[in-house]
Amino acid sequence: MNAPTQRLAGKVALITGAARGQGRSHAVRLAAEGADIIAVDRCADIDSVNYPLATDDDLNETVKLVEASDRRILATRADVRDLDAMRAAVDAGVAELGGLDIVVANAGIAGYAPVLTLEADAWTDMIDVNLNGVFWTVKAALPHMLAGGRGGSIVLTSSAAGLRAMENSAHYVAAKHGLVGLMKALALELGRHRIRVNTVHPTTVNTAMVQNPMTRALFLPGHVDPPQERFAKVAQSLNVLPEPWAEPEDISAAVAFLCSDEARLVTGAAFPVDAGMSIRW
Ligand SMILES: NC(=O)c1ccc[n+]([C@@H]2O[C@H](COP(=O)([O-])OP(=O)(O)OC[C@H]3O[C@@H](n4cnc5c(N)ncnc54)[C@H](O)[C@@H]3O)[C@@H](O)[C@H]2O)c1
């Protein structure tokens, strides 16, 4: 990547799920473009999710990487399902960093089961994290953005599965579609304050959410821990472009654009970064 420009100089960005994967990449990219970062992650597993979530060490690594860009970062362990904890994390970040201009509501979980065997706790956890948690994130952030009076940008991380359905993940599909409705409602209400709201819709992304034995086995039924190359072939068949998956940095480039003044007239948009997945599928 060429050295990014300083499109976000003087801004403060709240990023959830910032300990690893796309969230960490967003923190690093927005910091490289000049933003200070309020980072939030749960850093603990969730019982109904059968791959490990991030750890304290992961969040510490994000802090190091942002500080290497000479930007400030306040990192907090908090669960997006807990509005009080989110408010405390955001209030502390704003007090330390002096405002709030950008929200990237990225924290999320994945899970797979046919509807018939989809357990109630898996459904509830999915909607709580991937839909309610996004709303609580916005709710904790909004008073600060409005108080700043300088507009802003909110990006909600949906998925290609927020534009088209897929089998064996009704809870994920429902939550990610729900984010499109939430995004449009927020964009309508917040436009008069020059706060823009958009969703991003990634294809498969090369992160621990999919690069784990459970997810690979879903793409390749009958294999206990299918090798990466076979998984790559199946993943590529879902895309139009001849690529198996996006790297987190590909999604960060879109997020950085949506958060910059170059996107000053972009709001209410569902922005695919999906190698064409949503037109093929
Ligand atoms: N990886 C993919 O293929 C893919 C594709 C499309 C969309 N997405 C979406 O992108 C986003 C980022 O996922 P990723 O690929 O970086 O996966 P990831 O698992 O590496 O990152 C998700 C992060 O969210 C955190 N998190 C989970 N639940 C939380 C909670 N309740 N409170 C606070 N933090 C929590 C995790 O600890 C982790 O650090 C998610 O919303 C995901 O649904 C991922």
The predicted model scores a pTM of 0.98
Contacts of 248 (CB under 8 A, 6+ apart): 21, 22, 24, 25, 26, 205, 206, 207
For position 125, what pLDDT does the model report?
98
Tracing tokens 């994130």 back to the chain, one arrives at 137
pLDDT tens string 198-243: 999 999 999 999 999 888 888 887 777 778 889 999 999 999 999 9
Contact 33, 260 (CB under 8 A): yes
Bridge partners of 12, per DSSP, are 36
Report how far ligand 1's centroid is from the alpha carbon of 43 (Å): 11
Distance 119 CA to ligand 1 centre (A): 20
Give 174's DSSP letter: H
Q: How far apart are CA 39 and CA 19, in angstroms?
A: 8
Counting from 1 in the atom list of ligand 1, the atom nearest the Cα of 246 is 3
Closest C-alpha among 189, 36, 166, 186 to residue 102:
36
- Predicted pLDDT at 2: 63
CA–CA distance, 153 with 7 (Å, rounded to integer):
13
146-187 pLDDT, tens digit per residue, is 999 999 999 999 999 999 999 999 999 999 999 999 999 999
pLDDT band at 21 (very low <50, low <70, confident <90, very high): very high
Burial class (CB in 10 A: 0-12, 13-18, 19+), 122: buried
Q: Which two tokens stand for residue 61?
A: 């690594």
Ligand 1 contact, 20 CB (< 6 A): yes
In the structure encoding, which two tokens stand for residue 17, read together?
């799920």
Q: What is the mean pLDDT of residues 237-252?
A: 97
Tens digit of each residue's pLDDT (9 = 90 or more) over 1-10:
565 789 999 9
Q: Residue 71 and residue 196: Cα distance in Å, rounded?
A: 24
Q: What is the mean pLDDT of the chain?
A: 96
pLDDT band at 138 (very low <50, low <70, confident <90, very high): very high
Distance 52 CA to ligand 1 centre (A): 11
C-beta of 109 in contact with ligand 1 (< 6 A): yes
